[in-house]
Amino acid sequence: MTELDVAALQRRLADFATARDWQRYHTPKNLVAALSVEASELMEIFQWLTPEESARVMEEAETAHRVTDEVADVLAYLLQLCEVLGIDPLAALDAKIDRNERRFPRHMP
């Protein structure tokens, strides 16, 4: 699906919200709260698991679907937040990795 890029998803999300008159709820503060709530719903799946169990969550179909669904929710609110704030999320991450490469020198053999 060649059109599946971040900008296309942001357009779908904006159209979805506009069609339902939800954009009035989408202040940056509310979107950040929703993002944080969705990140916690993802964590709820993992909260009682051992590290080893957490590495196997995708082996069971229903859990794999829940995890994938929550990942989608986190990304949805992150992209909507970036849209209303005018932030390019991929450029922001690229710049952050540049900064981290200077901040944390790599192990030398």
- Contact residues toward its own copies (CB under 8 A) are 1, 4-6, 9, 12-13, 16, 19-21, 25, 27-30, 32-37, 39-51, 54-55, 57-58, 67-69, 71-76, 78-79, 81-82, 84-87, 89-97, 100-101, 104, 106-107
Query: At closest approach, how far in Å is the CB of 71 from its own copies?
Result: 5
- Contacting residues for 10 by C-beta, under 8 A, at least 6 apart: 79, 80, 82, 83
- Shortest distance (Å) from residue 83 CB to its own copies: 11
Q: Provide CB contacts within 8 A for 22, sequence distance 6+.
A: 16
